Amino acid sequence: MRKTRFNELHKKLGGKMIEFVGWEMPIEYSGIIPEHMAVRTKAGLFDVSHMGEVLVTGKDALAYVQWLTPNDASKLAPGQVQYTALMTPESTFVDDMLVYCIGPEEYFLVVNAANDDKDFAWIAGHTQGFEVKVEHQSDAYSQLALQGPLAEKILQPLTDIDLVVMKSFHWAKGRVAGKAALVSRTGYTGEDGFEIYTMDPDPGVIWTTLIETGRPLGLQPIGLGARDTLRLESKLMLYGNDISDKTTVLEADLKWIVKLQKGDFLGKPVIEKQLAEGLTRKLVGFEMAEPGIARPHYPVFFKGQRVGEVASGTFSPLLKKAIGLVYLPIEGTAVGTEFEIEIRGKRTKARVIPTPFYKRAKK
Amino acid sequence: MYPNDFRYTKEHEWIKAEGDEALVGITDFAQHQLGDIIYVELPAVGKELAARQSIGVVESVKSVSDVYAPVPGTVTAVNEALAQTADLLNKDPHGQGWIVRIKIKDKKDLDGLISAGDYEKFLEGLEH
């Protein structure tokens, strides 16, 4: 099993370790619910070093990123970040990812751990005709996420980067706890917060300093369990559950990352066709209308017909109810529509509700 | 930690005999492993249980686990309080967090279960 550079620190903090896509990672420390609530009300620190990083450089770097993704990377100035996707020609997902604009000829891509090698192969396999160099840098990087309303307060004394002026989806380079790092105002929780990337071979001090500084303010280390409940409440996609190479970007209700005006890109013809013809199904949020918790892969029925399975489903620690995401036939996607989920052999009522399930109050 | 008048299974259920009947629950070790318990699916009163048959399901945020009958019997009562406060299984697993009361089919079946001392030894073995 692969280990991040913080592995021993997780064990020292009592992290319950599990295998996740080949990595030994903490699933929880104090418990999913207290960790979840710490991020919503104070702050939480995540080791997300299993994420993948790819650097794209060269004269055609922008044109190349534009070809591989549906969002418009030309809108990015150096210092900005964008949520987008790696798309197949069918407009389904190789992965979803963040694009960091480092400079006009330099882009930094952050992809899912589960897809890291597949993504790099895809990226490296589509360079023909572009003057670019692609470097797989996942092994060199460690990544931490500091999330929650107190994130800025905790991080600011430990870095020379001015966080007050850093807007959402922006990044800057500087030092954190003395180590060279790239810090962006991004995350996977629906809260304010930062992601910290470092190539330092010995980055443990960043973790320990953040823990020591944040603890008195209520910061907790957070495992993958709460990472999943936090992202789902905010309707942030999980590859393999909510999006995959079988779901299109429009079906996933991610039209906001599709910019047709920008020019040609992989998958665009299929997107235009789906826009013209309309969708047959779409990803929607639901809550259970009867007792029970829907889990991924539970069978889903609409008007008595089996129409698929639950994409994501869990108990929401904040809302204290069972929530989830599911692809439903387009006629069943209106808010309030009832359908059924089979839980241990029993068809149990669920209903479509607005998403995100949780949205933080703006300052 | 583990009451001496209970019997245990290696699947981490406990049973406390009271005359012909018995209370059944999950052990402190089990609730620690599961984490925050948020939902318990209970059986119908009157349900006949074979040995090792599922009596219910315990769900934490992340996991779904069956609870099995330690011995054959018939469900005479379920812990209705769990419908609203499933976390009793975390807070008081050997007391208020009981799951079902059963009428034991044959009290001799209890002899096949392990004592508190043996259960604790079994747990020590798991940790190594």
Residue B59 with chain A: CB contacts under 8 Å: 293, 315
- Average pLDDT of span A220-236: 98
Minimal Cα distance from B32: which residue of A?
A31
Tell me, which fold does domain A280-353 have in CATH? Elongation Factor Tu (Ef-tu); domain 3 (2.40.30)
How buried is residue A241: exposed, middle or buried, by Cβ count under 10 Å (0-12/13-18/19+)? Answer: middle
Q: Which of A225, A292, A344 sits opposite B61 (nearest CB)?
A: A225
Q: CATH code for B7-126?
A: 2.40.50.100
pLDDT at residue number A146: 98
Q: Do B35 and A317 touch (CB under 8 A)?
A: no
The model's confidence at residue A256, banded by pLDDT at 50, 70 and 90, is very high
pLDDT higher than threshold 80 for residue B128: no
Q: Do B39 and A28 touch (CB under 8 A)?
A: no
The model's confidence at residue A175, banded by pLDDT at 50, 70 and 90, is very high
- Asked if B108 has any chain A CB less than 8 Å from its own CB, the reply is no
B87-106: pLDDT as tens digits: 999 999 999 999 999 999 99
- Asked if B38 has any chain A CB less than 8 Å from its own CB, the reply is yes
- Asked if A136 has any chain B CB less than 8 Å from its own CB, the reply is no
B37-74: pLDDT as tens digits: 999 999 999 999 998 999 999 999 989 999 999 999 99
Q: Do A292 and B39 touch (CB under 8 A)?
A: yes
Q: Do A31 and B36 touch (CB under 8 A)?
A: yes
ipTM of predicted assembly, 2 dp: 0.84
Nearest CA distance, A33 vs chain B (angstrom): 7
- Average pLDDT of span A289-311: 97
Overall pTM > 0.90: yes
pLDDT at residue number A353: 98
pLDDT higher than threshold 70 for residue B111: yes
- Average pLDDT of span A294-309: 98
- Asked if B85 has any chain A CB less than 8 Å from its own CB, the reply is no
pLDDT higher than threshold 70 for residue A362: yes
Nearest CA distance, A225 vs chain B (angstrom): 7
- Asked if A362 has any chain B CB less than 8 Å from its own CB, the reply is no
Choosing among 3.50.50.60, 3.30.200.20, 3.40.50.300, 3.30.1360.120, the CATH entry for A2-49+141-233 is 3.30.1360.120
The model's confidence at residue B126, banded by pLDDT at 50, 70 and 90, is confident
Q: With CA atoms as reference, report the closest residue to A301 among A351, A248, A339, A353.
A: A339
Superfamily in which the A52-139 domain is placed by CATH: Aminomethyltransferase beta-barrel domains (3.30.70.1400)
The encoded tokens of residue B57 equal 């399901």
How buried is residue B74: exposed, middle or buried, by Cβ count under 10 Å (0-12/13-18/19+)? Answer: middle
Q: Could you tell me what percent of chain A has a pLDDT over 70?
A: 100
Quote the CA–CA distance of A144 and A183 in Å, as a whole number.
Answer: 10
- Asked if A317 has any chain B CB less than 8 Å from its own CB, the reply is yes
Helix A32-41 and helix A224-233, axial crossing angle in degrees, nearest 10: 50
Q: With CA atoms as reference, report the closest residue to A198 among A65, A98, A51.
A: A51
pLDDT at residue number A26: 98
